[in-house]
Amino acid sequence: MLRLLLNGIERLSEWSGRVTAFLLLAMAGVIGYEVAVRYGFDSPTIWGTQLAQMIFGTYVVLGGAYALRYRVHVNMDAIYARLSPRKKATIDVVTSMAFFFAIGFLLWQGGILAWEAVMKWETSVVTPWRQPIWPVKLMIPIGALLILLQGLAKFIRDFHLAITGRELV
């Protein structure tokens, strides 16, 4: 049952990461269009740069669980890389408390931020375009929840490896 749960979480992280990757194509399209009209026609948009930033922010937040699943976040590899898998797992279990605190705080505060933004149908005041920014703020707690779930799966696997010396497959 535990393996089913862990595999389900990891499939969710995989799926969300693959879907989120398509945001890079959208961002590249927006930036390409902006560059073309700005330098080719001397007619920049009022929305291009800010829309690209919003897409990238969404990409970063929603891609976090995928990155954690494949362990591509930044590590201090000078020492860590030389350790056995069991010792790595032990270190990861100990340091996971900081992870859970930080991601829990992000989920809590991001949830408040998103709730307030949705309740006000918040829009940007930076440009005359006044695009809605509540959808981007809503991605913060969603992304944090995905990262929290993947972090929980990683913790369980690391804990099992640290205690038994065998990976939970």
- pLDDT tens series, the chain, 169 aa: 888 999 999 999 999 999 999 999 999 999 999 999 999 999 999 889 899 999 999 999 999 999 999 988 777 778 888 889 999 999 999 999 999 999 999 999 999 999 999 999 999 888 788 899 999 999 999 999 999 999 999 999 999 999 999 988 7
One-letter amino acid identity for 119?
M
Contacts of 37 (CB under 8 A, 6+ apart): 43, 44, 45, 48
Overall size of the chain counted in residues: 169
Q: What is the dihedral of CA 35, 36, 40, 44, to 10 degrees?
A: -60
Tokens of 154: 């990683």
Record the pTM: 0.88
> Average pLDDT of the chain?
93
Q: pLDDT tens, 131-165? A: 999 999 999 999 999 999 999 999 999 999 999 99
Tokens of 84: 């056995």
